[in-house]
């Protein structure tokens, strides 16, 4: 959510930002907010004036009673009561107008960074840099679930009987590999100075609406029936929510956290859930990194965060590239975002394995995460990035470490987490 004062003073900038995100249907919201906000301010001004008058007149009642002017005092009391009735009406109107302003403000996208390329959808995303040499071996790479099945590492049929499409059982060495990758990612981030955290896996609605747009909420979140609780789609949700309605001391910033969680996603609007694959699923686990910092430091941290993911994948001998998200591919709260994509030897192309985002003060403004320092109070900036998200990451791992005989090499950095194993054998 952007600053209301900024919108009031720069309506054309806000409108152009909406156009840049190809959301022209939202253009009327800007003028509606300005009109409603003006009515709210007028109502507030009248209410303030009425309060002052009521207070001044109320002081006369005691004096009149002391002078024995009971009838005049009663008249003043009637006037005070009338003021009170009108004031109650004005306060109700003001609350209703504030609510209408907030509803519209929540729909207006955040101002994107000037460096973001303008484009309608992900087809306009821009490749930034490649890391590592993509290799296509001289033998055929099977589909990822076929690799797992030959290693007795996955059971999709049983999962389908138990929970439906979009779920899986990981077994044996593949399950162990999954846990090894998560544990390695945890330690990798701890070594980079991040504090490890395991957060709540459910959050309340005020946190949900604080960390994401309504469109994202509808497409992703599972609600717990009969309770004000949602299953998290990523640990970022509860990690940012940890600071809801708090005042952070400036000298404690930045807060750098890395968190583990299961993630639950409806994947509403996706092109179906694969029956045999584990690329797009309803449940998975993830290691995340989160930063809360001063506004002037957020772009520096943005670049540090995506580089962490690149470094982790390169330590596992997986070639990756970074892809800058264009304006139309940015979620409404994001200022700037890039995807980290891993090389798929089977598909001979890159595919997304993580996403790094700078949200500016949008989440902090919604959640009331304020910083206090020598210059006064201001809203913090928040950032998040995927460290690693198996089993999607396992697809890249298995394809890039597969041998012709069906065995899978285990890079040195993972071997301590796999009991010293150097290979997974069929």
In whole angstroms, give the CA distance from residue 398 to residue 173: 12
Angle between helices 11-20 and 27-66 (to 10 degrees): 140
When comparing pLDDT for 66 and 81, which is higher?
81
When comparing pLDDT for 50 and 313, which is higher?
313
Domains of the chain: 4-105 (1.10.287.40), 122-424 (3.30.930.10)
Res 51: pLDDT = 84
Whether the upstream peptide bond of residue 254 has omega within 30° of 0, thus cis, is yes
| Range from 60-69, 76-85, 109-118 that averages highest in pLDDT | 109-118
Which of 148-152, 215-219, 323-327 shows the lowest per-residue confidence on average (mean pLDDT)?
215-219
Work out the pLDDT band at 213, boundaries 50, 70, 90. Answer: confident
In whole angstroms, give the CA distance from residue 16 to residue 32: 16
Over residues 132-182, the pLDDT tens digits come to 999 999 999 999 999 999 999 999 999 999 999 899 999 999 999 999 999
Work out the pLDDT band at 75, boundaries 50, 70, 90. Answer: confident
pLDDT of residue 61 exceeding 70, the answer is no
Look up the pTM and report it.
0.89
pLDDT of residue 379 exceeding 80, the answer is yes
pLDDT of residue 245 exceeding 80, the answer is yes
Tell me what the pLDDT averaged over the chain comes to. 93
pLDDT of residue 70 exceeding 80, the answer is no
Which of 254-258, 389-393, 403-407 shows the lowest per-residue confidence on average (mean pLDDT)?
389-393
Which of 13-17, 80-84, 400-404 shows the lowest per-residue confidence on average (mean pLDDT)?
80-84
Res 364: pLDDT = 97
Over residues 186-196, the pLDDT tens digits come to 999 999 999 99
pLDDT of residue 109 exceeding 90, the answer is yes
* Mean per-residue pLDDT, 390-395: 91
pLDDT of residue 58 exceeding 90, the answer is no
pLDDT of residue 219 exceeding 90, the answer is no
Res 273: pLDDT = 56
In whole angstroms, give the CA distance from residue 47 to residue 92: 11
Tokens 């009969």 appear where?
226
* Mean per-residue pLDDT, 361-385: 96
Over residues 262-296, the pLDDT tens digits come to 999 998 755 555 567 888 899 999 999 999 999 99
Q: Among residues of the chain, what percentage have pLDDT more than 90?
A: 82
When comparing pLDDT for 278 and 18, which is higher?
18
Res 49: pLDDT = 86
In whole angstroms, give the CA distance from residue 355 to residue 168: 23
């Amino acid at each position: 959510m952007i600053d209301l004062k900024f919108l009031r003073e720069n309506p054309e900038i806000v409108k152009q930002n909406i156009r840049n995100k190809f959301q022209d249907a939202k253009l009327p919201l800007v003028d509606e907010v300005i009109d409603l906000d003006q009515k709210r301010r007028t109502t507030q001004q009248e209410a303030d004036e009425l309060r002052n008058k009521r207070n001044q007149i109320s002081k006369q009642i005691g004096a009149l009673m002391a002078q024995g002017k009971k009838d005049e005092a009663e008249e003043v009391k009637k006037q005070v009561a009338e003021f009170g009735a009108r004031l109650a009406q004005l306060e109700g109107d003001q609350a209703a107008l504030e609510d209408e302003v907030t509803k519209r403000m929540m729909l207006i996208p955040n101002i994107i960074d000037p460096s973001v390329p303008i484009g309608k959808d992900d087809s306009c995303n821009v490749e930034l840099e490649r890391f590592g040499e993509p290799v296509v071996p001289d033998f055929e790479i099977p589909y990822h679930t076929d690799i797992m099945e030959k290693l007795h590492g996955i059971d999709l049929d049983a999962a389908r009987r138990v929970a439906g499409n979009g779920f899986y059982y990981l077994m044996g060495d593949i399950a162990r590999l999954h846990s090894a990758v998560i544990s390695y990612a945890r330690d990798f981030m701890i070594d980079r100075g991040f504090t490890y955290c395991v957060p709540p896996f459910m959050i309340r609605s005020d946190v949900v609406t604080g960390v994401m747009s309504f469109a994202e909420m509808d497409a992703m979140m599972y609600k717990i029936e009969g309770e004000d609780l949602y299953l998290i789609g990523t640990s970022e949700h509860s990690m940012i929510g940890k600071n809801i309605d708090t005042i952070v001391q400036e000298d404690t910033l930045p807060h750098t956290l890395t968190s583990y969680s299961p993630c639950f996603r409806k994947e509403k609007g996706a092109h179906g859930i694969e029956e045999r694959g584990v690329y797009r699923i309803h449940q998975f686990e993830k290691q995340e990194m989160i930063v809360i910092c001063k506004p002037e430091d957020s772009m520096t941290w943005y670049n540090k965060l995506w580089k962490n993911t690149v470094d982790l994948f390169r330590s596992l001998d997986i070639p990756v590239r970074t892809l800058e998200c264009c304006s139309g591919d940015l979620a409404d709260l994001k200022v700037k975002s890039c995807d980290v994509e891993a090389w798929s030897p089977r598909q001979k192309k890159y595919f997304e394995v993580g996403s790094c985002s700078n949200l500016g003060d949008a989440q902090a403004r919604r959640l009331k995460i304020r910083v206090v320092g020598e210059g006064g109070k201001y809203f913090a900036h928040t950032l998040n990035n995927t460290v690693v998200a198996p089993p999607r990451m396992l697809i890249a791992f298995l394809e890039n470490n597969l041998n012709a005989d069906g065995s899978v090499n285990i890079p040195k950095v993972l071997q301590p987490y796999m009991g010293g194993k150097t290979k997974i054998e069929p």
